[in-house]
Chain A
Amino acid sequence: MNFNKDSLKIDAGRVAEELARSVRTQIRSKLRKTGAVVGISGGLDSSVVAALCVKALGPKRVVGIMMPEEDSSPDSQKLAQDLADRLGIETVVENITPGLEGLKCYSRRDEAIRQIFPEYDSTYKNKITISTNILEDETFNFFNLTIESPGGEEKTMRMPVSAYLQIVAASNLKQRLRMTMLYYHAEKRNYAVAGTGNKDEHEQGFFVKYGDGGADLKPIAHLFKMQVFQLAEELSVGHDIIGRIPTTDTYSAGSTQEEFFFGLDFFRMDMLWYAMENKVSSAEAAAVLGLTPHQVERGYANIQRKIDATEYLRMYPLEIE
């Protein structure tokens, strides 16, 4: 095949039309619902999904739900509201901080953080990052915890397994509570919940099972992030959203998706993944991406490891056969 820097280019106008048609068919005929609820965060993916739902169903049958909590960036709600205003959709703001406090999300997380950094308290910020240099070092994927003191001093340590699991389990309560709120608003209107995950998140397992992974339809789960950018331009979601660095919006110190999970910029990751899927040789991919064949092979291996390791996230509950 001919692999080149334009390999991820799509005919965004045609794709948007096709996706809108699919969304309409799925919601009306398959799910037998009358509209869509979308959790909007002011990020690229949720904005594109909201715009697609509007294209499919019209603005009166789409509701945008904003669900800030105490670690959310203040920009998120404003950008989400601006988008909703441009799309002409109804919005609902659900502050989920009290609900998360009821579930002891923050105290359970902070207890685990203090196993690593005893000085940590609510005046500090925190974030989780993945080990970097994925193309340079053949290392396992593992996670570091960073805390930032009120004075701006950062400390980073690799996490022992018990603390890591507790921090992730506590933080996942955020996505699961958001899913719960989305279904409340969907069910009371007889609407469907539209999921906002893209292919990078869906297939590499960067989502919470029964959290942001819980939805009735996932209209962009087959699209690379680089293709979602093209759709965003086509659907005019706004350059303030398109130009925003994708973050988890889950950790108070502001963790980008690249440093939290993917460990690579979206262009190189998506191009490597596309090349891997299409069986492009490491030498050919390396020439196009300005890498060495060895780096390409490491990139391929890293992506494949994430896909394999997160397979259970995409499984339905297992029944005895």
Chain B
Amino acid sequence: MAQKEKIRKDIRDFITKSFLTGDENENLSDSDSFMKEGIIDSTGVLELVSFLEKQYGFAVKDDEMTPGNLDSIDNLVIFISGKLG
């Protein structure tokens, strides 16, 4: 549980620093879709994946680059936890 909460915080910090201003951060819930909210585009996805690979030391495969894995803070927490085993 502690690991998941740490991942959640790391992800929110990264998204905030890279894509949001302070006001938007307050309004972003953990289940909001990055795509639907207009937070991440194709360049943003590459930035996010570069961050994940560097931060957690695993490779994100092409077929893992799906909204189901990457499109919200909740989805990312599940995806990263699964990859870290």
Chain A positions near chain B (C-beta within 8 angstroms): 131, 137-143, 158-162, 164-165, 305, 308-309
Extra contacts, 15 of them, besides A140-B70, A142-B62 (Cβ < 8 A), are A131-B62, A138-B68, A139-B63, A139-B66, A140-B42, A140-B66, A141-B45, A142-B46, A142-B65, A160-B50, A161-B43, A161-B47, A161-B50, A164-B43, A165-B43
**B contact residues vs A (CB 8 Å cutoff):** 35, 38, 41-43, 45-47, 49-50, 62-63, 65-68, 70
Please indicate the chain B residues that have their CB under 8 angstroms from the CB of A158 in the complex: 46, 49, 62
* A188 CA to B73 CA, complexed, in Å: 55
CB contacts (< 8 Å) of A137 on chain B: these are 63, 66
Q: How far is the CB of B45 from chain A (nearest CB, A)?
A: 4
- What are 5 A-B contacts with C-beta separation under 8 Å? A137-B63, A140-B70, A142-B65, A158-B62, A164-B46
Residues of A within 8 A of B35 (CB): 140, 305
CB neighbours (8 Å) of B70 from chain A are 140
Residues of B within 8 A of A141 (CB): 42, 45
Is there an interface contact between B43 and A131, defined as CB atoms closer than 8 Å?
A: no
Q: Known contacts A140-B70, A308-B38, A309-B41; is A131 also within 8 Å of B65 by CB?
A: yes
B15 to chain A, nearest CB (A): 15
A159 to B43, CA, bound (A): 10
Per the bound structure, the CA–CA distance linking A70 and B62 in Å amounts to 32
**Roughly how many angstroms separate A42 CA and B42 CA in the complex, as a whole number?**
30
CB closest residue in chain B, given A304: B35
Rounded to whole angstroms, the CA-CA distance of A164 and B45 in the bound complex is 12
Tell whether, in the assembled complex, residue B45 and residue A142 are in contact, meaning their CB atoms are under 8 Å apart: yes
Bound state CA distance, A243 and B26, in angstroms?
53
Give the complex CA separation of A158 and B65 in angstroms. Answer: 11
CA distance A159 to B46 in the complex (A): 8
